[in-house]
Chain A
């Protein structure tokens, strides 16, 4: 079993829809949770990061962490065609100095006009 599981998709939605992207994990030591966006043939771009449980909002994006369920989510409101990309979740734990990230394999999102 992988430490971090993520549905590969593709997830297809119409423009303006609310998108929910999710990851589950098995290591309860994870404390930092990141979301990256990766456009085709480009490097990942850090979107958001949160520490421990709770919500964090940045514009149209909301990151949510539920440590009791070992489940994290990224919500995108009013989705745009430019949001079409692969979204990677990543996590780190104190016992690796927080610098060793464990990534999900990514969910491909397609937003149609």
Chain B
């Protein structure tokens, strides 16, 4: 079974703090993704990576950055957290040969006060 893990299930941060969300997958997948999920808006792609040190902007990259130093690990960074970044953050991975089949982690609920 594909296993995607995220470092925290729940996080509470203050406005202006730098926030790191970590994601690890154990299936040697080339592609990794970060989404946020908000009621009524569904899942929106923030960034994705198709290889180590490679990244592509998704639909809503503003206020976020990412890092992929190792194939299995993909980090999402909120440089200066704001209240409108309160959301559920979901990491996913997919193999190169089946790029459309993404497997998700359990999610991190982030509350920014």
Contact = CB atoms under 8 A, between A and B. Distances in A.
B64 interface: no
A56 B103 CA distance: 20
Interface of A: 8, 32, 34, 36, 41-46, 49, 88, 90, 92, 97-101, 103-106
14 contacts: A8-B40, A34-B101, A36-B104, A41-B107, A42-B106, A43-B104, A44-B43, A49-B100, A90-B43, A92-B100, A97-B99, A98-B99, A100-B45, A105-B42
Given A32-B100, A42-B106, A101-B43, 12 more contacts: A8-B40, A41-B109, A43-B104, A43-B107, A44-B43, A45-B104, A46-B104, A88-B43, A99-B50, A101-B45, A105-B41, A105-B42
Interface of B: 4, 31, 33, 40-43, 45, 48, 50, 58, 90, 94, 99-107, 109
What 10 pairs across the A-B complex have the smallest Cβ distances? Answer: A43-B104, A99-B99, A105-B42, A32-B100, A103-B43, A98-B100, A92-B100, A98-B99, A103-B42, A43-B106
Contacts of B94: 99
Contacts of A34: 100-101
Nearest to A44: B104
Contacts of A36: 104
Contacts of B58: 100
Contact of A101 (B100, B105, B106): B100
Contact of A42 (B4, B41, B50, B107): B107
B54 to A, nearest CB: 12
Contacts of A41: 107, 109
Contact of A99 (B40, B48, B107): B48
Given A88-B42, A88-B43, A99-B31, A44 B99 contact: no
Contacts of A32: 100
B11 to A, nearest CB: 14
A46 B42 contact: no
A41 to B, nearest CB: 8
B40 to A, nearest CB: 6
Contacts of A88: 42-43
